[in-house]
Amino acid sequence: MKRLLAEAMLFASCLASLFCSQPAPPPAQPEAPPPPSSPGSVAEKDPALKSIVPPDAKIEKLAKGFTFTEGPVWVKEGGEGVLFSDIPNNRIMKWSPDGKVEEFRKPSGYTGPAAPEGSYIGSNGLTLDKEGRLIVCEHGDRRVTRLEKDGKLTVLADKYQGKRLNSPNDAVYRSDGSLYFTDPPYGLFDEKAKELDFQGIYRLAPDGKLALLNKGMSRPNGLAFSPDEKTLYVANSDPEKKIWMAFDVASSGTLSKGRVFFDATAEKEDGLPDGLKVDTQGNVYATGPGGVWVFSSDGKHLGTIKPAEVPANCHWGDADAKTLYMTARTGFYRVRLSIPGIRPSL
């Protein structure tokens, strides 16, 4: 009995020794941190997009902290950079290539009494004339102005046939010196304050004469010419009719043969047709549901550039005009592309 007990104890001791001699399991590895949120992506719809957006294209977020950004334009005077509107805050901001962001002008589009909080009263679309002077679409003051070199403002247009404009939204120059702009009602506190019973597309001739070109769109917004200036593209920011229109442009500057360039009404992503630009090969870059829609000149959707926030407008920047800068809600973004864009002469 003693012998059996001793053998059992010896076996237990060996067994314990065997288990104790095994290496301890490795400690659990810490979970990898989640990857940083991406500032955007590119959705290809057609292989032709590869000739426009390089495979290694990276969307960058350059600035944040605004309320609703719009109207970017590349400038050289006072140092290279991009001016853009922060509409509800009634100011124009300037981003510089060194990363600095500063207030360029305030107020930018409204000089009246206190407006209801959140009103879209400030400047919206910005562009430059042939002399490099800043052209401003002022929502709250319902006019188009020019900022002179000495800092004074010149009113270019504020009435049509004696009635106040709605709230000029975006503008583009034709090479003959005429300024085209759209006039939806977004800057009005109350649409009952409208004096015009339509939303127009206008042409301001070099001699200062204002002509109504079209009043058939419900919410005309961004606009841009084709490279040969024979076509004018206009966005319609209407939730019930999310379309881009194309118009023939006569040598006299009038518009005709309006037709739907693309209809995105069925799209469910956030955003409406808004600001747009064209590159030197005729491709159209139009902010819309979910991002910047890239179209061929014949209206084929090639793909969408999708920053982390829904963009409202875009513009060509840098020395070669191959960087697309995008104003998107509270942020400011850019992406390098392969084809230079059409922008005001600097």
Instruction: For 109-160, write each residue's pLDDT tens digit.
Output: 999 999 999 899 999 999 999 999 999 999 999 999 999 999 999 999 999 9
Contact 64, 53 (CB under 8 A): no
Domains of the chain, first to last: 38-336 (2.120.10.30)
Distances 337 to 305, 315, 323 between C-alpha atoms, Å = 11, 12, 6
* Per-residue pLDDT at 31 exceeds 60: no
CA distances to 38, 204, 237 from 304, in Å:
16, 33, 18
Task: Give the dihedral of Cα atoms 81, 57, 85, 213; nearest 10 deg.
Answer: 110
pLDDT tens digit string along 42-81?
999 999 999 999 999 999 999 999 999 999 999 999 999 9
Q: Report if pTM > 0.85.
A: yes
107 contacts: CB under 8 Å, gap ≥ 6: 90, 91, 122
Share of the chain above pLDDT 70, in %: 89
Distance CA 195, CA 201 (A): 16
Q: Quick one: 202 exposed, middle or buried, by C-beta within 10 A (0-12, 13-18, 19+)?
A: buried
Quick one: CA torsion of 257, 258, 262, 268, rounded to 10 degrees? Answer: -160
pLDDT interval class at 37 (50, 70, 90)? low
Instruction: Give the model confidence (pLDDT) of 303-330 as tens digits.
Output: 999 999 999 999 999 999 999 999 999 9
Mean pLDDT of all residues belonging to the chain: 91
User: What's the rounded mean pLDDT across residues 83-110?
Assistant: 98
Q: pLDDT tens for residues 280-308?
A: 999 999 999 999 999 999 999 999 999 99
What's the CA dihedral at 15, 20, 23, 26 to 10 degrees? 120
Which residues have CB under 8 Å from 23's CB, separation 6+? none
What's the rounded Cα separation, in Å, for the pair 58 and 305? 10
- Please give the average per-residue pLDDT across 11-33, as a whole number: 44
